[in-house]
């Protein structure tokens, strides 16, 4: 008999050993793709201008720069203003979608999610066309005052609206009709019911949405780059330091600053998730949407106004892409799509983006699903599984700009054996997978968590190898989530500009980067055309995935429908 | 919990399964999670073809014990030997058992036939043949092409059972297999599983918290509490002669009476002296607790000849269906409150109603004696 002191371990079967090795391999990949680049930023932030180690001195010097303090102040202001604007707007929109019998509900939901298809540069371009120096409505913002604070806030509001909406939709979708009935029998009016039932039940969602909007605004540089004018914000400052002045240590310090709100929001979110628990008991009665004609009319008007504004911002850039010379010569043309006339990368950039999106979707989905499966379903996952899960959460807290900086510092280092990756499409794929890993991982984990935890033990008792159960049961039952993950990777890789801006070369230039560079060079119409291509291909991808999902569900998911 | 004692008495001939060839031997099994000792030094031997139930309240360690046997966990110490082979550290796939979980864990995207065939290898024809055989065995030939979501709970349960039996394992593990079903289906499946087990002669271990299930299905019941085995006996012995206070209070109903020992085999209960069924081994004058089942209290229509009858006040009369439960206050037994079970026929003969007095005696041969005076049990 073994003594108590000897730690015993169950012998692993062959498939479990293989799966364990795979898990360690995935973990190593995440370390290279996420952890080491971040560590490289920390290291870089401690170097003096000549590359010698200087401890905390560069950090102090950079923070003492008056420009940086102004940029930090500017970022804080636009982020707070955007949050204050978006939160009530999105809350009202979400409430109308979930709590009111709104005509055309699906359409309004789709409309509000459209901004996800566009790079954050697009609202900037639209705002220029609407309210800029040559804008149709330039009188609304006198003397070009759209360039700066107002423009950034409006653009960021467009960019962050769907993110806030998705969180609030989830928060508002659940509710217990019994509570409202009880309140009504006790004589509480609509305002009192809202203040005592709806608001408290959704407060976690509100905080979560606020954190997401705030972080997105602070770390995004697309909107500010296009419409920000001379208004200082941190993200643009980091971009200028690295791309413009090649001052890497200073870029690294700003990168570290950008990490702060993201880390804070990440911590708050974790804390909320622990506190939240299950708010709605299993016996909760589903809510009946409000049907009073007046409420429905008001909701319809409200959603039309908000959704219409989003559509105008999206549509202006698209319209401008097809118009001869905005706003003087409004005849239609395709000449702006002839990118050979302008710098920026042209059709090569678009082809590269499609390739990047495709490879990211493929590689990302496979890696994420295997990682999520291994870390949650493998009996022998152990340390590797826990580490992988923890590391998978990290990219959420790392702004793309920071990740991109880290990639320069890590991969561009001569001593790095992976140095050869620098400047290839492969590093762009790796960076994009890492950048969007968390959301995909969470989606996969959620889908896997819904499967019965006893599938693997049953299969093991039947002596069926893990791989066969993964292929025959786990993957087919998670197929909708898998398609969702692939679509998410595709669209994100198509629209992102922040991480890849530091990593592209003339050969691997991307569409979103081209938008930025064309706009920078004053070719706004070409930038609008390229942005339109991005929206069109993300939209087409979404349609394609929806179609694929529909067909696959109909064919292979018959089991979901009870007879 | 209602329990009809008469059905139990029919199973009286006690078949001690452990006497047959030992098939599974657990020796000194201990397991702790963090600070909590979940299993401590468990020893258990299960014979070939035996049906053993692990019974106990939630948190008693019964499911943990099953997980050690299944290789889903390993004990911190101790040894598990199956058919002469030490399997303590072997992964599940290298053991030889079929398992049915509480959730059934049927693969939702596979048909009933594919679920049952999941663990089968070999040629397609052989598989089809075996699946047909198993479907016939569980009496569900016509549902081969359906998906689990299209089946009733009872059908799902039987499919899970067929899947577990498909590879002809030598051991069947059942983890609360009936708890998700409604009462009527449960009762039917109890009989069905038991007869299937007897037909196949497969060694079976079932975890349950339902004592009625354990008593009606098992050859032997292992009552667990706090990570230890309280008693391991046939259902009959378990009910008739509970070895510990826990078993006595957990299985069936009973009355606890504070008494005092008078000599090696005599005790004083209030004003009454009783001859105990066996020497109790405590010093004269020390406190004892007597345990007696409600059906072993006897109510008399008129004053009986027995010397130990006393008067009791009837406080409540409850109809439990096949029997009546009479609540009594007995001043002569140290003001004890007890319940007695009587049949409808007995009640008619007694012609009693609440607030009346009735002579009561107890069947001293059925008394269980525990040391100490603690009579509070939940």
pLDDT of residue A239: 87
Burial class (CB in 10 A: 0-12, 13-18, 19+), A63: middle
- Between A9, A457, A463, which is nearest B119 by CB? A463
Confidence bin at B378 (pLDDT 50/70/90):
low
Distances (CA, A) of B175 to B90, B164, B263: 20, 12, 47
Distance from CA of A273 to the nearest CA of B (A): 25
User: A1, B27: Cβ pair inside 8 Å?
Assistant: yes
Q: What average pLDDT does the segment B202-231 reach?
A: 95
Distance from CA of A459 to the nearest CA of B (A): 7
Which of B82, B92, B164 to mutate: most A Cβ within 10 Å? B92
Chain A hits for B28, CB-CB cut-off 8 Å, are 1
Chain B hits for A557, CB-CB cut-off 8 Å, are 109
CA–CA separation, A447 vs A439, rounded Å?
12
User: B163, A458: Cβ pair inside 8 Å?
Assistant: yes
Q: Which of A500, A135, A172 minimizes the C-alpha distance to A353? A: A500
Chain B hits for A461, CB-CB cut-off 8 Å, are 70, 92-93, 95, 97-99, 119, 164, 169, 173
Chain B hits for A11, CB-CB cut-off 8 Å, are 89-91, 94
pLDDT of residue B375: 65
Kindly identify which residue of chain A lies nearest to residue B164, measuring between CA atoms. Answer: A462
Q: Which of A163, A540, A113 minimizes the C-alpha distance to A358? A: A540
Q: Which of A497, A462, A42 minimizes the C-alpha distance to B95? A: A462
Q: How far is CA A5 from the centre of its chain?
A: 48
User: A455, B163: Cβ pair inside 8 Å?
Assistant: no
- Between B70, B77, B148, which is nearest A461 by CB? B70
pLDDT of residue A561: 59
- For each of the domains in chain A, give its residue range(s) and CATH number, in order of start: 58-274+292-333 (1.10.3720.10), 343-557 (1.10.3720.10)
Which of B108, B164, B174 to mutate: most A Cβ within 10 Å? B108
pLDDT of residue B5: 40
User: B94, A563: Cβ pair inside 8 Å?
Assistant: no
Chain B hits for A459, CB-CB cut-off 8 Å, are 118-119
pLDDT of residue A289: 85
Q: What average pLDDT does the segment B326-337 reach?
A: 93
Kindly identify which residue of chain B lies nearest to residue A468, measuring between CA atoms. Answer: B118
Q: Which two tokens stand for residue A53?
A: 């180690």
User: A452, B103: Cβ pair inside 8 Å?
Assistant: yes
| Region for A51 from its dihedrals, namely left if φ exceeds 0, alpha if ψ lies in -120 to 50, beta otherwise | left
Task: For helices A425-435 and A479-495, give the axis angle rounded to 10 degrees.
Answer: 120
Chain A hits for B147, CB-CB cut-off 8 Å, are 558-559
User: B118, A459: Cβ pair inside 8 Å?
Assistant: yes
User: B97, A461: Cβ pair inside 8 Å?
Assistant: yes
Chain B hits for A562, CB-CB cut-off 8 Å, are 149-150
User: B118, A562: Cβ pair inside 8 Å?
Assistant: no
Chain A hits for B27, CB-CB cut-off 8 Å, are 1
Distance from CA of A19 to the nearest CA of B (A): 14
User: B89, A10: Cβ pair inside 8 Å?
Assistant: yes
Residues in A lying within 8 Å of B, measured between beta carbons: 1-4, 8-13, 16, 379, 452, 454-455, 457-464, 472-473, 476-477, 556-560, 562-563
Distance from CA of A271 to the nearest CA of B (A): 24
Taking CB atoms and an 8 Å cut-off, how many pairs form between chains A and B?
A: 104
Kindly identify which residue of chain B lies nearest to residue A465, measuring between CA atoms. Answer: B93
Chain A hits for B71, CB-CB cut-off 8 Å, are 10, 460
> Could you list the pLDDT tens digit for every one of the 563 residues in chain A?
444 445 677 888 888 899 999 999 999 999 999 999 999 988 887 877 666 777 777 778 777 888 888 899 999 999 999 999 999 999 999 999 999 999 888 899 999 999 999 999 999 999 999 998 878 888 888 777 889 999 999 999 999 999 999 989 988 887 788 888 888 889 888 889 888 888 888 888 898 899 889 989 998 889 999 998 889 999 898 888 888 888 888 888 888 888 888 788 878 877 877 776 555 555 667 788 888 899 999 999 999 999 999 999 999 999 999 998 877 888 888 888 988 878 878 899 999 999 999 999 999 999 999 999 999 888 877 888 989 998 998 898 888 888 998 998 899 888 888 888 888 999 999 999 999 999 999 999 988 988 888 999 999 999 999 999 999 999 998 988 999 999 999 999 999 988 898 899 889 999 999 999 999 888 889 999 999 999 999 999 999 999 988 888 777 666 665 54
Asked if residue B290 lies in contact with residue B253, where contact means CB atoms within 8 angstroms, the answer is no
Question: What would the DSSP string read from start to end of B128-143?
Answer: HHHHHHHHHHTT-GGG
* φ and ψ at residue B123, rounded to 5 degrees: -70, 155
pLDDT tens profile B42-80: 999 999 999 999 999 998 999 999 999 999 988 999 999
User: B105, A464: Cβ pair inside 8 Å?
Assistant: no
User: B147, A559: Cβ pair inside 8 Å?
Assistant: yes
- Between B88, B90, B92, which is nearest A457 by CB? B92
ipTM for this prediction: 0.82
pLDDT of residue A2: 43
CA–CA separation, A495 vs B31, rounded Å?
53
* Residues in a beta bridge with A332: A323
- Between A1, A379, A459, which is nearest B79 by CB? A1
CA–CA separation, A358 vs A494, rounded Å?
9
Beta strands B220-225 and B51-55: pairing type?
A: parallel
Which of B93, B104, B145, B152 to mutate: most A Cβ within 10 Å? B93
User: B89, A11: Cβ pair inside 8 Å?
Assistant: yes
Beta strands B98-100 and B171-175: pairing type?
A: parallel
Kindly identify which residue of chain B lies nearest to residue A455, measuring between CA atoms. Answer: B105
Tell me: pLDDT of B14 over 50: no
- Between A13, A458, A556, which is nearest B105 by CB? A458
Kindly identify which residue of chain B lies nearest to residue A7, measuring between CA atoms. Answer: B76
CA dihedral over A403, A405, A407, A409, signed as positive or negative: negative
Distance from CA of B36 to the nearest CA of A (A): 15
User: A8, B147: Cβ pair inside 8 Å?
Assistant: no
User: A4, B30: Cβ pair inside 8 Å?
Assistant: yes
Q: What average pLDDT does the segment B155-166 reach?
A: 94
Chain B hits for A462, CB-CB cut-off 8 Å, are 98, 118-119, 163, 166-167
3 state DSSP class of B86: strand
pLDDT tens profile A289-336: 888 899 999 999 999 999 999 999 999 999 999 998 877 888 888 888
User: A462, B77: Cβ pair inside 8 Å?
Assistant: no
Question: What would the DSSP string read from start to end of A192-254?
Answer: HHIIIIIHHHHHHHHHHHHHHHHHHHHH--HHHHHH-TT---HHHHHHIIIIIT--HHHHHHH
Residue with tokens 């087409």: A540
Chain A hits for B148, CB-CB cut-off 8 Å, are 559
User: A462, B118: Cβ pair inside 8 Å?
Assistant: yes
Q: Which of A159, A54, A152 minimizes the C-alpha distance to A112? A: A159
CA–CA separation, A364 vs A433, rounded Å?
5
User: A463, B108: Cβ pair inside 8 Å?
Assistant: no
Distance from CA of B146 to the nearest CA of A (A): 8
pLDDT tens profile B109-152: 999 999 999 999 889 999 999 999 999 988 888 899 999 988 99
Chain A hits for B176, CB-CB cut-off 8 Å, are none
């Amino acid at each position: 008999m073994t003594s108590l002191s000897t730690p015993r371990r169950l012998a692993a079967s062959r498939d479990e050993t293989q799966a364990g090795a795979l898990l360690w391999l995935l973990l190593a990949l995440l370390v290279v793709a996420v952890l080491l680049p971040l560590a490289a930023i920390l290291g870089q932030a401690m170097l003096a201008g000549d590359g010698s180690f200087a401890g905390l001195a560069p950090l102090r010097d950079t923070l003492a720069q008056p420009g940086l303090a102004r940029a930090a102040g500017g970022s804080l202001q636009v982020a707070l203003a955007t949050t204050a604007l978006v939160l009530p707007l999105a809350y009202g929109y979400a409430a109308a979608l979930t709590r009111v019998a709104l005509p055309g509900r699906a359409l309004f939901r789709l409309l509000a999610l459209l901004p996800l298809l566009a790079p954050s540069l697009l609202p900037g371009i639209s705002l220029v066309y609407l309210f800029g120096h040559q804008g149709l409505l330039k009188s609304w913002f006198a003397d070009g005052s759209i360039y700066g604070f107002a423009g950034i806030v409006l653009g960021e509001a467009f960019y962050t609206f769907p993110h806030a909406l998705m969180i609030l939709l989830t928060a508002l979708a659940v509710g217990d009709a019994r509570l409202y009935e009880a309140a009504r029998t006790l004589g509480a009016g609509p305002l009192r019911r809202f203040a005592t039932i709806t608001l408290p039940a959704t407060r976690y969602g509100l905080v979560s949405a606020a954190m997401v909007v705030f972080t997105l605004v602070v770390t995004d540089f697309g909107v500010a780059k296009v419409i920000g004018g001379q208004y200082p914000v941190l993200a643009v400052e980091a971009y200028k330091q690295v791309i413009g002045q090649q001052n890497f240590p200073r870029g690294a310090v700003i990168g570290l600053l950008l990490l702060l709100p993201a880390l804070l929001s990440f911590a708050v979110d974790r804390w909320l998730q622990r506190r939240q628990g299950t708010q709605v008991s299993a016996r909760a009665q589903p809510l009946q949407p409000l049907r009073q004609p007046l409420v429905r009319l008001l909701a319809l008007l409200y959603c039309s106004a908000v959704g219409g504004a989003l559509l105008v911002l999206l549509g202006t850039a698209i319209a401008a892409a097809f118009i001869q010379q905005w706003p003087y010569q409004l005849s239609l043309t395709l000449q702006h799509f002839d990118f050979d006339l302008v710098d920026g990368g042209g059709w090569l950039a678009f082809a590269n983006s499609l390739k990047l999106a495709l490879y990211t979707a493929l590689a990302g989905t496979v890696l994420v699903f295997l990682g999520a499966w291994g870390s949650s379903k493998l009996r022998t996952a152990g340390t590797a599984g826990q580490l992988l899960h923890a590391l998978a959460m990290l990219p959420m807290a790392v702004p793309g700009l920071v990740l991109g900086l880290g990639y320069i510092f890590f991969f561009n280092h001569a001593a790095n054996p992976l140095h050869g990756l620098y400047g290839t499409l492969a590093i762009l794929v790796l960076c994009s997978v890492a950048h969007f890993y968390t959301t995909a991982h969470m989606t996969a984990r959620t889908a896997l968590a819904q499967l019965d935890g006893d599938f693997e033990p049953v299969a093991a008792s039947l002596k069926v190898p893990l791989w066969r159960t993964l292929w025959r049961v786990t993957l087919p039952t998670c197929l909708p989530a898998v398609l969702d993950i692939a679509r998410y990777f595709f669209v994100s890789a198509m629209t992102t500009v922040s991480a890849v801006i530091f990593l592209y070369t003339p050969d691997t230039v991307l569409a979103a980067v081209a938008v930025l560079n064309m706009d920078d060079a004053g070719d706004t119409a070409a930038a609008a055309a390229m942005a339109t291509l991005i929206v069109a291909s993300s939209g087409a991808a979404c349609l394609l995935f929806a179609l694929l999902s529909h067909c696959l569900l109909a064919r292979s998911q018959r089991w979901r429908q009870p007879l | 919990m209602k329990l009809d004692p008469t059905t139990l008495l029919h199973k009286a001939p006690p078949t001690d399964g452990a006497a047959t060839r030992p098939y599974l031997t657990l020796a000194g099994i201990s397991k702790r999670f963090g600070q909590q000792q979940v299993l401590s030094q468990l020893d258990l031997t299960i014979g070939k073809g035996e049906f053993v139930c692990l019974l106990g309240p939630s948190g008693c360690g019964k499911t943990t014990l099953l997980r050690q046997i299944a290789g889903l966990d390993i004990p911190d110490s101790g040894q598990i030997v199956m058919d002469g082979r030490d399997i303590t550290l072997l992964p599940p796939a290298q053991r030889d058992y079929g398992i049915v979980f509480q959730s059934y864990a049927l693969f939702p995207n596979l048909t009933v036939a594919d679920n049952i065939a999941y663990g089968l290898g070999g040629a397609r024809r052989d598989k089809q043949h075996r699946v047909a055989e198993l479907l016939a065995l569980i009496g569900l030939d016509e549902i081969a092409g359906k998906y689990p979501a299209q089946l009733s709970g009872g059908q799902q349960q039987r499919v899970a059972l067929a899947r577990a039996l498909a590879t002809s394992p030598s051991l069947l593990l059942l983890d609360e297999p009936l708890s998700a079903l409604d009462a009527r289906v449960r009762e039917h499946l109890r009989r069905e599983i038991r007869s299937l087990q007897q037909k196949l002669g497969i060694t079976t271990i079932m975890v349950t918290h339902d004592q009625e299930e354990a008593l009606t299905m098992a050859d032997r019941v292992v009552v667990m509490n706090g990570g230890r085995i309280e008693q391991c006996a046939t259902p009959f012995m378990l009910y008739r002669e509970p070895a510990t206070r826990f078993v006595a209070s957990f299985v069936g109903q009973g009355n606890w009476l504070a008494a005092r020992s008078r000599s090696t085999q005599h005790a004083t209960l209030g004003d009454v002296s009783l001859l105990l069924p066996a020497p109790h081994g405590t010093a004269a004058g020390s406190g004892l607790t007597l345990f007696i089942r409600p059906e072993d209290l006897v109510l008399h229509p008129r004053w009986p000849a027995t010397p130990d009858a006393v008067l009791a006040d009837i406080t409540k009369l409850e109809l439990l269906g096949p029997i009546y439960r009479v609540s009594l206050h007995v001043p002569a037994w140290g003001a004890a409150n007890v319940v007695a079970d009587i049949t409808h026929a007995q009640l008619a003969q007694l012609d009693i109603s609440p607030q009346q007095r009735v002579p009561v005696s107890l069947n001293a041969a059925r008394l269980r004696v525990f040391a100490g005076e603690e009579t509070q049990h939940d």
